[in-house]
Amino acid sequence: MESQKRFFLQEKDIPTQWYNIVADMKNKPLPMLNPQTRKPITVDELSALFARGCSEQELDSTHQWIDIPEPVRNQYKNYRSTPLVRAYGLEKALDTPAHIYFKNESVSPVGSHKLNSALAQAYYCKKEGVTNITTETGAGQWGAALSYAAKVFGLELAVFMVKISYNQKPYRRLIMQTYGAQVVASPSMGTRAGKDIITANPNYQGSLGTAISEAVELAMQTPNCKYVLGSVLNHVSLHQTVIGLEAEKQMAMAGEYPDIVVGCFGGGSNFSGISFPFMRHNILEGKTTEFIAAEPAACPKLTRGVFQYDFGDEVGYTPLLPMFTLGHDFAPAHIHAGGLRYHGAGTIVSQLLKDGYMKGVDIPQLESFQAASLFAQAEGIIPAPESAHAIAATIRLAKQCKEEGKGKTILFNLSGHGLIDMTAYDQYLSGDLTNFILPQEEIDKTTSKLEHII
């Protein structure tokens, strides 16, 4: 019989604090700027948009550990710890000497890691007397998570869902509605941002950038309403560190420590969540673990983007963020990994990439689905198209281990399952999927404008 397959923590061992890597970073991220004044943004300014609790965390560069509020921890207990799983099936299928582990965030009630931050943000809003919140969602993982979190803490939620997903992915919209959220296709006629875009291009199928603009606008114009974001920002990454903190304890239970940690990369939250707790040992103790962010070849901000101040949204409502970006009006091809179709990387991750603590790899769409299918048949879990990028990167590494005869220990984050994404698998199985090769001119076109921002 194989050795232990899955590792869980006792409820009492679920982390009580999140890990704030900024406190340990030698080079701090450049400051976010107020888009009006172009000066470093303050907690007060941020709090106009976000809950104050989140705004404080966003700019906190001194506290290494931040307490997880008890009501949030109580909610975490509903699905955490998530299992750390030894992927014996995948190892066997690849005939690799590598030890492959994955953190299975897909067993959360909403099917992904997104709930870790959704619960925290909804809690801070509620605590501060907020009654209404807004957000955007692409494929719908984040929207589903926040819809449940809003219900838990008694908040009214409006979700702007990218129009193409709204139409093509009715299941996730229905999940949000089942939890009681209002879901609006973006661009909509209900905001100035949406109306302007529809007027200019009536057939525009939406983008995360546009949906963010709409959600921000509605939040700013509604009394007692805050905006909530599912990735990119520092406080979101902070909340996701519960993943890596658990994984660290669970890897110890397995008697191992990762040589390589892999996560897929959209805005950075799941990658940060699994990576930062391990990366702190690189920063503080000189460990040499490698950190690999797997992004889609169709939206390669880490491997082919520029490091520049840029907006988080299409219209330019958000603070200016110093980040690796393809430009805030970059419109990525319609790959199935909707959660990875975002133009920029968070400020912390961007600084860490610059400083060589991590690296990006870009995965073509077909390779991601080949990896996903192999994983499904070997481990039983059909992964989300986003998570499939982490699996593809892991498979590359495991094959390299085989070539080199090295038994490295690889840990990746299975950020979500793909049971709501079966139409994507349908296209793959039918041979209708293609790779999107992004021409350099397109990147140049949207990034060349950025130099004028500051």
Binding site residues, its own copies, CB under 8 A: 1-2, 4-6, 8, 11, 70, 73-74, 77-79, 85, 89, 107-111, 115, 148, 151-152, 170-171, 174-175, 177-180, 373, 376-377, 379-382, 419-420, 422-423, 425-426, 429
Report the C-alpha gap between 327 and 342 in whole angstroms.
10
Q: Which is nearer to its own copies, 73 or 113 (CB)?
A: 73
Residue among 111 and 319 whose Cβ is closer to its own copies: 111
Within its chain, how far is the Cα of 311 from the centroid? 17
Q: What is the rounded CA–CA span in Å between residue 209 and residue 226? A: 18
Q: How far is the CB of 101 from its own copies (least distance, A)?
A: 14
294: helix, strand or coil = strand
Q: Which two tokens stand for residue 443?
A: 């990147």
Q: Residue 182, Cα to own-chain centre: how many angstroms?
A: 22
Q: Which residue, 98 or 118, is less far from its own copies as judged by CB?
A: 118
Which is nearer to its own copies, 299 or 391 (by Cβ)? 391
Q: Which residues of 385-397 are buried (b: 16+ CB within 10 A; e: fewer)?
A: bbbbbbbbbbbbb
Q: Do residues 76 and 70 make contact, with C-beta atoms less than 8 angstroms apart? A: no
**Residues paired with residue 156 on neighbouring β-strands, in sequence order:** 132
Q: Which is nearer to its own copies, 61 or 373 (CB)?
A: 373
Query: Min. distance of Cβ 232 from its own copies in angstroms?
Result: 25
Least CB distance from residue 70 to its own copies, whole Å? 6
25: part of which helix (H) or strand (E)?
Answer: none
Q: Minimal distance in Å, beta carbon 108 to its own copies? A: 8
Query: Is the CB of 422 or the CB of 454 nearer to its own copies?
Result: 422
* DSSP secondary structure string for all residues of 140-174: SHHHHHHHHHHHHHT-EEEEEEEHHHHHH-HHHHH
State the DSSP code for 383. B
Least separation in angstroms between residue 413's CB and its own copies is 17
Rounded least distance, CB 119 to its own copies, Å? 10
Are the C-beta atoms of 135 and 160 separated by less than 8 Å?
A: yes
Alpha-carbon separation of residue 87 from 4, 84, 318, 380 (angstroms): 11, 9, 41, 10
CA atoms of 402 and 411, how far apart (whole Å): 16
Cβ 9 to its own copies shortest distance, Å: 10
CB of 80 to its own copies, least distance (A): 9
Q: In this complex, which beta carbon is closest to its own copies, that of residue 164 or of residue 174?
A: 174
* Chain centre to alpha carbon of residue 121: 15
Closest to its own copies by CB, 312 vs 339, is 339
